[in-house]
Chain A
């Protein structure tokens, strides 16, 4: 029952986006989105870990005993997260310091566990890799949208470049926690209102 790669990609990026439709992986999506640089690095880290751990778990799916499945999954995820963490510390020390504990917290990011349980468990390695990686990219996309809004309003910059041409007063609230809740809440609201409209239209 291997799905076509394109349909997996489309599902993961848009129609079943992990953050906005499934409401998973929220912790880090809220915490790192006050600047676009951080969001980009975090998103790529999550995509990498989700893709590779899905692939590994799918390759091992027939030899892992059911009883210790969760434990094995967590350990495999932790290995990849350690890899990402050490790489960041070596090559991007500033961003690594800003992200702080949130890199380690990729281990408990529900998206990874969710993809492992829902997809990698019953599919061959290559589709699992694509599924995991694009689930991560869908997450990255949402992070970038949220951080774009927050960075422009809060600092008047995009990726650190000044775009505040009109000299408007930047909103400190946009880089504080409440703004993250409001923006993600509004995005989810918009999407589910649209989905609800569609279902009404098709049932009529």
Chain B
């Protein structure tokens, strides 16, 4: 199983094993920050960036620190610390070197530490025993998949603002039902690639 081609992992993590539509990860920010297309794009970009890099860093830490020292029971704490520290450093570095990008993504960065997709991808990567390149590609693909899903939902919700809805359904309920329909559409892709 460890020898799945990185190309397959890349497309599978975007389409068939999409983080939101088939693994349900990162739902909180997906639901609350999807009412505008532009903000959704910003968040998607930030998540993709953090996801790619933290997955790779956690892969390195798992193989060069946790396994040699045999401290698997501390792994959750270590992953969470790595993610929190990395987001903090990224925020400071962006503020210093790319103020434009920071102005665009800065407000989303603190939210990302508690986005379960980030920790989830790390845990999946460890359980499935991916190698270095596979982990990097898996992180990138999962981030892009998340970005795709939140952008689709935001686009639909912008259109829905003008629609007349039955009482009580606006807000989270309609988002869930839209996501369910999207997930059903994505099931159509299953069988093209499989990574489980």
A185–B173 touching, CB < 8 Å: yes
Binary interface profile of B, 14-48, with partner A (CB < 8 Å = 1, else 0)? Answer: 00000001111111100100000000000000000
Q: How far is the CA of A142 from the CA of B80 in the complex (A)?
A: 28
CB neighbours (8 Å) of B28 from chain A are 24, 26-27, 110
B68 at the interface (CB under 8 A from A): no
Main secondary structure of the interface of A (DSSP, over half): helix
Complex: A79 Cα to B77 Cα, angstroms: 8
Contacting residues of chain B (25-79) with chain A, CB-CB under 8 angstroms: 25-28, 31, 73-74, 76-77
Residues of A within 8 A of B84 (CB): 71, 74
- Does A26 contact B168, Cβ atoms closer than 8 Å? no
Which residue of B23, B25, B169, B177 contacts A181 across the interface (Cβ within 8 Å)? B177
Kindly list 17 other residue pairs between chains A and B, CB separation below 8 angstroms, not including A107-B80, A110-B28, A177-B183. Answer: A27-B28, A31-B24, A70-B113, A101-B124, A105-B116, A107-B76, A107-B119, A176-B183, A176-B187, A179-B180, A180-B24, A182-B180, A185-B173, A185-B175, A185-B180, A192-B168, A192-B173
Q: Which residues of B contact A (CB under 8 A)?
A: 21-28, 31, 73-74, 76-77, 80, 84, 113-116, 119-120, 123-124, 127, 166-169, 171-177, 179-181, 183-184, 187
What are 17 A-to-B residue pairs whose CB atoms are below 8 Å? A26-B27, A71-B84, A75-B80, A105-B120, A105-B123, A107-B80, A107-B119, A109-B116, A110-B28, A113-B114, A177-B21, A178-B181, A185-B176, A185-B180, A192-B169, A193-B168, A196-B167
